Amino acid sequence: MAAVSRRPRVVWSGLAQRCIWLPFRDLAPKVLEILESHGYGGGFIEDMLNPPPSISAAQALVLESLGETIPSFSEALDEILGGGVALGKLIQVCGSPGSGKTQFVLQLCVDVQIPNVIEGLEGEAVIIDTECSFTVSRFREIADGVVRHCRRLAEANNITESIENFTVDSVLNGVHYTSATSFEKFTSLVHCLKSFLETHPRVKLIVIDSFVFPFLSMTNTLERTRRACVIINKLCDLARKHLIAAMRL
């Protein structure tokens, strides 16, 4: 703990020694350089310069009650969740190995694309695979089951033509997949999500499977915890700002 408490004093000492005589126009680049040399990367600096907006508790309650959800196709689970997985939140999926966590989030990646005409979000999903465990054949089976189920619903309500473009291929095209097996790649991807979401407004779900894996190579537990918290806060901000559901396994 002593090393952690001394770190800010080292940073400010460096700022004082190297920036005190600099003209104002040259100050900002030097400050960024010193912060980065002490481990405070671009994401940390960006977060410090752009604090998240605040709202009242009453406003938060109204937004939560009006928020959209992603159905899980499990009646019992949807009832517990208040209609499905809520947008605007970071959600951690827990369970023992083989309990179906990946199956659950892959199901959501299909469910988020259900057409509006049958009360779906008609959105898209992002999968960040850190263990290289994603299999297209497995996902295609889930997509096929959901498409057939939605077609039966459409036929029962005489709206078959309205969902004729909702096919297995359209579901596959509605998922943006990327892999990140190292901490550096994972961090880079998370920081790129902001610009990606701005250019892909239909994305309503981000899945990270698994969140822990990129951090396992870090031996310094304090640093690992700090970096994990930075990324968690980043994901929370993105979920609130863009009204998406972020799922981490």
And the tokens for 238? 């993105």
Residue 30 falls inside a structural domain: no
Q: How confident is the model at residue 1 (pLDDT cuts 50, 70, 90)?
A: very low
Q: What's at 85, amino acid-wise?
A: V
Segment 218-227 shows an average pLDDT of 91
Report how far apart, in Å, the C-alpha atoms of 236 and of each of 24, 87, 120, 194 are: 34, 11, 23, 12
pLDDT digits (tens, 9 = 90+) for 148-179: 999 999 999 899 888 999 999 999 999 999 99
Q: What are the backbone angles phi and psi of residue 57, rounded to the nearest 5°?
A: -65, -35
8 Å CB contact between 67 and 87: yes
Give me the CATH number covering residue 90: 3.40.50.300
Residue 50 falls inside a structural domain: no
Residue 48 falls inside a structural domain: no
State the residue range of the domain holding 163: 66-248
Q: What's at 187, amino acid-wise?
A: T
Q: How confident is the model at residue 98 (pLDDT cuts 50, 70, 90)?
A: confident
Residue 41 falls inside a structural domain: no
Comparing CA positions, the residue from 46, 40, 35, 32 lying closest to residue 234 is 46
Can you tell me the distance from the alpha carbon of 242 to that of 237, in angstroms, rounded to the nearest whole number? 8
Residue 56 falls inside a structural domain: no
User: Residue 108: pLDDT above 70?
Assistant: yes
pLDDT digits (tens, 9 = 90+) for 54-80: 777 876 666 666 678 998 888 888 888
pTM of the model: 0.77
> Which residues are within 8 A (CB) of 7 and not within 5 positions of it... i.e. 6 or more apart?
38
Residue 31 falls inside a structural domain: no
Q: What's at 26, amino acid-wise?
A: D
Residue 78 falls inside a structural domain: yes
Residue 126 falls inside a structural domain: yes
User: Residue 242: pLDDT above 80?
Assistant: yes
Cα angle 161, 162, 168; round to 5: 90
Q: pLDDT above 90 covers what percent of the chain?
A: 58
8 Å CB contact between 19 and 33: no
Task: Give the count of domains, the chain.
Answer: 1
